Amino acid sequence: MKTYQRFPLDLVKGKGCWVWDEKGEKYLDAVAGIATCSLGHSNRALIKSLSKQLRKLQHVSNLYQIPEQEELAQWLTSNSFAKSAFFCNSGAEANEAAIKLARKYGHIKRNIDNPIILCSKESFHGRTLAAVSATGQPKYHNGFEPMVDGFKFFSYNDNESFKNLFDGLEKTGPKIAAVLIEPIQGEGGINVGEKSFFQLIKAKCTENNVLLMFDEVQTGMGRTGTLWGYEQLGIEPDVFTLAKGLGGGHAIGALLVNQLADVFQPGDHASTFGGNPFACRAALTVGREIQKRKLLIKITERGIQLKEGLINLSLKYSDIFFSTRGIGLIQGLVLKDNKKITSLDIVKSALEEKLLLVSAGAKVLRIVPPLIITKKEINELLSRLDKCLMKLS
Ligand SMILES: *Cc1c(COP(=O)(O)O)cnc(C)c1O
């Protein structure tokens, strides 16, 4: 179907932060399958553990106990505040599960007839109907109306906007069951959450028994330099969702919760493929490699290096760029509004310099390389980006 506007590039091979096309041309990959290939391409640990798992057992369904799933749940809960997990196959599905959890929580724990979920206007939560309804950006709704009911929107990092919406609804109803928000907005343009804004949200939620749910589909699993994005903000939500980086390029999503393990009862929610032995083995390998290779420290260091380089480029090409945003290995270059140049123009030009980049909206260039990227590769990335900007300006 005509779902995607694809680049005319056939990628056939990868190793670490590099991919090759059919003709044998080599590209530096700062997209990483859209922030998914955490350990890079053809990672040795993944090849070893997944080959072994393929020979052992791939899929049995959740009719049975799955030791690999229990092991992954154990790993995730012992490395976060969460106490239990539900597994699915993607980010949208993880958020879908969170939305259903919030509604059932509203009904059974708070006696709300029509539970409302508050989301940000600039958010992105996925493409299934409920997840896209939770997404505040109208461009994702166009043509798919009517949207799913029960979502209301505030502006990100805007204390007044959040307070007005929250207080208004608490006074006159319908009642709020949950707030769903990204600690850093990815697709929305690499908007980094402000601590004071998130403290306000946390306080309001706690005061009113409203669930605080973080969409960590893009920020989770080390991308920001801490295992979870919420650590960067110094607050803990009640619920968080994961997908993108979790399986290192393999399809797996998860919903993690603190005290809410009894909200879903048998039969309430399910997934045929969710948490199968293969996908769980992939995520376990990613988690253990992050720890074994001390990647969090490296991600922080590489993040600082990348940030410095991007600031220099934004100053050098101040006619194109307005600012830089992001932490760790989720960074963005923000384009000036008045310029005719779009982030897609830069992505296309970077392709000629054999550098893969992805935009986050028309005005932000996104840089989300594999978490294993080296100092030398960051320098190479910056120098290729410099060359392509020189041509464009
Ligand atoms: C990518 C993304 C999603 C959707 O994930 P899919 O796996 O494409 O369904 C949801 N939320 C955030 C924050 C994302 O970045």
Over the stretch 246-261, which tens digit does the pLDDT of each residue have? 999 999 999 999 988 8
* The token pair that represents 242 in the structure block: 């994961």
> What pLDDT, on the 0 to 100 scale, is given for residue 368?
98
Answer whether residue 362 shows pLDDT above 90.
no
**Class of the CATH domain delimited by 46-292:** alpha beta
**What's the CA-to-centroid distance between 126 and ligand 1, angstroms?**
5
Task: Tell me the mean pLDDT in the region 64-70.
Answer: 98
> Which pLDDT value is given to residue 261?
83
Instruction: Kindly state the percentage of the chain with pLDDT values over 70.
Output: 100
Identity of the amino acid at 206: T
Cα distances from 270 to residues 94, 205, 257, in angstroms, run 11, 28, 16
> Hey, is 288 helix, strand or coil?
helix
Q: CB-based contacts of 5: which residues, under 8 Å, 6+ apart?
A: none
Under a CB-based contact definition with an 8 Å cutoff, are residues 259 and 237 in contact? no
Distance separating alpha carbons of residues 192 and 186, to the nearest angstrom: 9
Q: Which atom of ligand 1 is nearest to the CA of 123?
A: 13
Pocket residues: Cβ below 6 A from ligand 1: 90-92, 95, 124-126, 182, 186-187, 215, 217-218, 243-244
Measure the N-to-C terminal CA separation of the chain; round to a whole number of Å. Answer: 36
Classify residue 216 by burial, with Cβ atoms within 10 Å: 0-12, 13-18, 19+: buried
Cα–Cα distance measured from residue 190 to residue 94, given in angstroms and rounded to the nearest whole number: 21
Residue nearest to atom 15 of ligand 1 (CA): 218
Q: Where are the domains of the chain?
A: 46-292, 295-373+382-392
**Average confidence (pLDDT) over 23-28:** 98
Contact 289, 296 (CB under 8 A): no
Q: Decide if 217 contacts 243 (C-beta within 8 A).
A: yes
- Classify domain 295-373+382-392 at the CATH class level: alpha beta
Q: What's the length of the chain?
A: 393
Q: What's the whole-model pTM score?
A: 0.97
What is the per-residue pLDDT for 301?
A: 98
**How confident is the model over 343-360, as a mean pLDDT?**
96
Q: How many CB atoms lie within 10 A of CB 341?
A: 18
C-alpha 111 to ligand 1 mean position (Å)? 30
Q: How far is the CA of 242 from the centre of ligand 1 (A)?
A: 9
CB atoms within 10 A of CB 62: 16
Q: Please report, for residues 54, 75, 249, 276, 374, the alpha-carbon distance to residue 58 in angstroms, rounded to integers and kept in the order given.
A: 6, 20, 17, 7, 33
Question: Known binding site: residues?
Answer: 91-92, 124, 127, 215-218, 271-272
Task: Tell me: pLDDT of 149 over 90.
Answer: yes
What is the distance between the alpha carbons of residues 191 and 213, in angstroms, rounded to a whole number?
Answer: 17
Return d(Cα 390, Cα 384) in angstroms, integer.
10
Residue 5: CA count within 13 A, CB half-sphere: 3
Write the pLDDT tens digit of every residue in 217-251.
999 999 999 999 999 999 999 999 999 999 999 99
